[in-house]
Chains A and B, each alone.
Chain A
Amino acid sequence: MAEEVSSQMNSLSISETNPSSSATISLVSGDDIVFKVEPTIAKEMETVQSFIDETDGKITTIPLPNISSHDLPYVIEYCEKSIAGKITKEFEAEFVKKLNNEEVKELFLAANYLNIKKLLDFLSQVIADRIANKSVEYVRRYFGIENDFTPEEEAKLREELAWTFTGVDPDDEDEN
Chain B
Amino acid sequence: MGRKQAKSTVAKPDRITLLPGHVIDHILCYLPIKEAVRTSVLSSKWRNKWYTLPNLVFSNAALQDRMVFESKFIKMVDHVLLLHSGSINMFKLSDSGHDIFSVNVATDIDRWILYLIGKSIKELVLEVLMDEFYKIPWCLFSCQSLHRLKLYSCWLNPPTTFEGFKNLRSLDLDQISMTQDAFENLISSCPLLEHLRLADVIGVSQVNIHAPNLKVFDIYDQFEDIRFVDTLQLTTVAINLSLYLNSETYQNRLHGCSSNLLKFFDGLPHIQSLEIHQDFLKYLAAGVVPVNLPTPCINLSYLSLTIKLNDLTEVSAALCLLRSSPNLRTLEIFARIKEHTVLSTPTSYCWEDIFSRPTTPIKARHVTMDGISATKLELDFIRFLLLYLPVLETMHVKAGANVTLELTKTLNQFKRASGEAKVIWEDDMSSSVVDPIYDEERSNNEEVEVSPIMEKRQSKKPRWMKDYVCK
Task: State which of A127, A166, A173 has its C-beta within 8 Å of the C-beta of B27.
Answer: A127
Q: Is the CB of A161 within 8 A of B26?
A: no
Instruction: List 19 interface pairs A-B (beta carbons < 8 Å), by A numbering.
Output: A105-B15, A109-B19, A120-B26, A127-B27, A128-B28, A132-B35, A136-B38, A136-B42, A140-B43, A141-B10, A145-B17, A157-B41, A161-B40, A163-B75, A164-B37, A164-B38, A167-B34, A167-B62, A175-B5
Contact check: which of A105, A124, A164, A176 meets B34 at CB < 8 Å?
A164
- Given A163-B75, A174-B1, check contact A102 B9 (CB 8 Å): yes
Task: Give min CB distance, A44 to chain B, whole Å.
Answer: 18
If the complex has contacts A145-B43, A164-B37, are A128 and B16 also in contact, measured as CB distance less than 8 A? no
Closest 9 CB pairs of A and B: A128-B30, A173-B2, A164-B38, A124-B26, A144-B14, A144-B9, A124-B27, A125-B30, A164-B34
**In the assembly, what is the distance between CA of A45 and CA of B215, in Å?**
32
Which chain A residues (50-91) contact chain B, with CB distance < 8 Å? none
A91 to chain B, nearest CB (A): 14
Q: Name the CB-closest residue of A to B8.
A: A102
Docked pose: A158 CA to B76 CA in angstroms: 14
Chain B residues lying within 8 Å of A176, measured Cβ to Cβ, are: 5
Q: How far is the CA of A146 from the CA of B13 in the complex (A)?
A: 10
Asked if B43 contacts A149 (CB within 8 A), the reply is: yes
Instruction: Collect the chain B residues with CB atoms within 8 Å of residue A148's CB.
Output: 43-45
Binding site for B on A (CB under 8 A): 102, 105, 108-109, 112, 120-121, 124-125, 127-129, 131-133, 136, 139-149, 154, 157-158, 161, 163-167, 171, 173-176
Which chain B residues border A154 with CB–CB below 8 Å?
41
- What's the A-B contact tally at a CB cutoff of 8 Å? 107
Question: Across the two chains, which residue of chain A brings its CB closest to B24?
Answer: A124
Q: Inside 8 A of A140's CB, which chain B residues have their CB?
A: 42-43
Residues of B within 8 A of A139 (CB): 39, 42
CA distance A149 to B14 in the complex (A): 16
Set A102, A146, A163: member contacting B76, Cβ < 8 A: A163
Does the CB pair A163–B79 fall under 8 Å? yes
Whether B2 contacts A175 by the Cβ 8 Å rule is: yes
Asked whether A158 lies within 8 Å of B14 as measured between CB atoms, the reply is no
A174 to B3, CA, bound (A): 10
The SS class assigned to the B binding surface is helix
Is B32 among interface residues, defined by CB-CB distance under 8 A? yes
Residues of A within 8 A of B39 (CB): 139
Bound together, the chains give a CA A175 to CA B5 distance in angstroms of 8
Q: A143–B16 contact, CB under 8 A?
A: yes
- Closest B residue to A153 by CB, please name it: B44
Cα distance, A31 to B30, chains bound together (Å): 33
In angstroms, how far is the closest chain B Cβ from the Cβ of A173? 4
CA gap between A167 and B60 in the complex, in Å: 11
Complex CA gap A59/B149 in Å reads 48
B59 to chain A, nearest CB (A): 14
Q: Assess whether B187 is interfacial by the CB under 8 Å rule.
A: no
Q: 0/1 per residue, B203-241, Cβ < 8 Å to A?
A: 000000000000000000000000000000000000000
- Distance (whole angstroms) from the CB of A165 to the closest CB of chain B: 7
* Distance between B227 CB and nearest chain A CB, rounded to angstroms: 38
Residue of B nearest to A128 (CB): B30
Known: A125-B30, A143-B17, A144-B12. 16 other contacts (CB 8 A): A105-B15, A108-B16, A124-B30, A131-B35, A136-B38, A136-B41, A140-B43, A143-B16, A145-B45, A157-B47, A158-B41, A163-B75, A164-B37, A171-B2, A174-B1, A174-B2
Assess whether A144 is in contact with B30, with CB atoms less than 8 Å apart.
no
The answer to whether the Cβ of B46 comes within 8 Å of any Cβ in the partner chain is yes
Q: Determine how close the nearest CB of chain B comes to the CB of A108; give it in whole angstroms.
A: 7
**CB proximity to A under 8 Å, residues B110-143:** none
Is B178 part of the binding interface, using a Cβ–Cβ cutoff of 8 Å? no
Q: A112-B23, A125-B30, A163-B79 are in contact. Are A145 and B14 (CB under 8 A)?
A: yes
Contact (Cβ within 8 A) B16 A147: no
Say if the beta carbon of B6 comes within 8 Å of chain A: yes
0/1 interface trace, chain B 56-88, chain A, CB 8 Å (1 if under) = 000000100000000010011001000000000
Say yes or no: is B257 at the interface (Cβ < 8 Å to chain A).
Answer: no
A133 CB contacts on chain B under 8 angstroms: 35
- A164 to B80 CA separation, bound complex (whole angstroms): 11
Write the nearest CB–CB distance from A170 to chain B, whole angstroms.
Answer: 13
Smallest Cβ-Cβ distance to A100: which chain B residue: B5
* Closest A residue to B30 using CB positions: A128
- B29 contacts chain A at the CB level, 8 A cutoff: yes
Q: Given A108-B16, A112-B19, A147 and B42 touching (CB < 8 A)?
A: yes
B403 cross-chain contacts in A, Cβ below 8 A: none
Question: Which of B5, B45, B62, B75 sits near A141, CB closer than 8 Å?
Answer: B5
Q: Across the interface, name the chain A residue whose C-beta is closest to B3.
A: A173
Residues in A whose Cβ lies below 8 Å from that of B43: 140, 145-149
Query: How far is A114 from B347 in the complex, measured between Cα atoms in Å?
Result: 70
Contact B16 A173 (CB under 8 A): no
B44 to chain A, nearest CB (A): 5
For the complex, give the distance between the alpha carbons of A139 and B41 in Å: 10
Question: Looking across the interface, which residue of chain A has its beta carbon closest to that of B32?
Answer: A132
Which residues between 158 and 178 of chain B lie within 8 Å of chain A, taking CB atoms?
none
Contact of B42 among A108, A124, A145, A166 (CB under 8 A): A145
Quick one: given A129-B30, A141-B6, A175-B2, are A161 and B16 in contact (CB under 8 Å)?
Answer: no
CB-defined contacts of B28 to chain A, threshold 8 Å: 128
User: In the assembly, what is the distance between CA of A127 and CA of B5, in Å?
Assistant: 17
Docked Cα-Cα span, A173 to B6, in Å, equals 10
**B38 CB contact (under 8 Å) in A128, A141, A161:** A161
Q: How far is the CB of B68 from chain A (nearest CB, A)?
A: 11
Asked if A121 and B26 sit within 8 Å, CB to CB, the answer is yes
A84 to chain B, nearest CB (A): 13
How far is A120 from B30 in the complex, measured between Cα atoms in Å? 12
CA of A171 to CA of B6, assembled, Å: 13
